[in-house]
Each structure stands twice: as C-alpha cells, then as structure tokens.
Amino acid sequence: MTAPTQDPGLDSGYHPTGAPHTADEVRSSSIGELLRQVSTDLSTLMRQEVELAKAEIRQEGRKAGKAAGLFGGAGFGGYMVALFLSIALWAGLSNVLDAGWAALIVAVLWGAIAAVLYSMAKKHAQRVRGLRQTNDSVQRIPDALKPHPEGVTR
C-alpha cells in the first residue's frame, strides 16, 4: 500500500478543515453543504472562544489571587504597625501616668477610631441599593403572565 501523495481534502476542492477555498468551489457547492460548513465553522469558533475565555479567566484569576495575597500581607503589616504604635504610645504615656491609665487612654483612642469607622461604614452600607430593580421586575412577572380581561393597559 502506498502513501497518498496529495491531501485528500484537496481532491474534493476543500481545505483540510472542509471549507471551500476558491470562489468557483463556493459557487459549485450546494446550499446545504455551505450551511453545514457555516454551522461547523460557528461551532468551532464558539469552542475556541470558550477555551480562550477559560484561559484568560485562569490567568486573570492567578493575578487577582496574587494581588489579594499581597493586599492581605499589607493589611497584616498595617495591623502590626498600629499595634506597635499603640504599645509605644502606652509606654510613653506610662512615663507620665500610671500604666493602667495609659492603657485606658490608648484603648479609648482606639474605641473612638472604631466608632468613627463604624459610622462611616454604616452610611456607605445604606447607600448600597442591592438588586431592587431586578427584584421589582421579577415580582411583576406573575402579573404580566395573567390574562387581563380589559385588554392591554398602559
């Protein structure tokens, strides 16, 4: 048995992918063949686009994960700075006051900061609208499906 010397797809006038490659071959193809080819090409294109999207999501996910880890590390570093500055303030105040009173002053200072941050967070949380429009439109769907004896109302 001998190996073919020419691509069998070229004998029939098609590329290896099955698509006609000249205008004359397209004109000589039936509508069914052309629609089949368009369908095949669209299916292949969609599969390729999904694979590309998956690859991009994986790549961007790795970047986002790394950024989140770095933000977490920065947050922990900031926490440690606040902790040691608090200890330093406590130690500094204990030179002037009793150590218990110095600790109480530092604790009250942090309590005030926490109260201000809580107040700001609460105001921002109240501004979040959520899915009110979606919820309203979903609740109207059952009414839209019911027949209206008076006809269409505006």
Give strand pairing partners of 20.
Answer: 14
More confident residue, 72 or 143: 72
Tell me: the pLDDT tens digits for 119-129? Answer: 999 998 888 77
pLDDT of residue 22: 77
Largest CA distance in the chain: 103
pLDDT of residue 77: 97
Tell which residue, 82, 81, 106, has the closest CA to residue 96. 106
Confidence band, pLDDT 50/70/90 cuts, at residue 7:
very low
Tell me: the pLDDT tens digits for 25-61? Answer: 778 888 888 888 888 888 898 899 889 888 889 889 9
CA atoms of 101 and 43, how far apart (whole Å): 74
Tell me: the pLDDT tens digits for 102-125? Answer: 999 999 999 999 999 999 999 988
